Amino acid sequence: MKFILYLVLFYFGFKFLSRLFYLYLVNKVKQKQTDFYNSKDINKNKEGEVSINKMPNKNSKNSDKLGDYVDYEEID
């Protein structure tokens, strides 16, 4: 009889704690998304302002290794 009582108490306790843990995780993810979105807004440039983050390499190799150009015709 005690075993069944402990089993039922464990079941309801686990159910209650898992619901609290789920709500905690949902709020944590929501907060991280909000922080990420707000950090993107801070780094936004004003309209008309230009910023260059990285210059392309000037020593880029020829595009000969990209492949052959295939000419095609459309068929009706």
- E-assigned strands of the chain? none
Higher pLDDT, 69 or 66: 69
Element (H, E) at 41: helix 2-42
Q: What is the pLDDT of residues 25-45, one digit of tens each?
A: 999 999 999 888 877 655 565
Exposure string of 9-40, with b = 16+ CB inside 10 Å and e = fewer, is eeeeeeeeeeeeeeeeeeeeeeeeeeeeeeee
How many percent of the chain have pLDDT more than 90? 42
**Where are the chain's structural domains?**
1-37
Tokens of 66: 């990209």
pTM recorded for the entire structure: 0.45
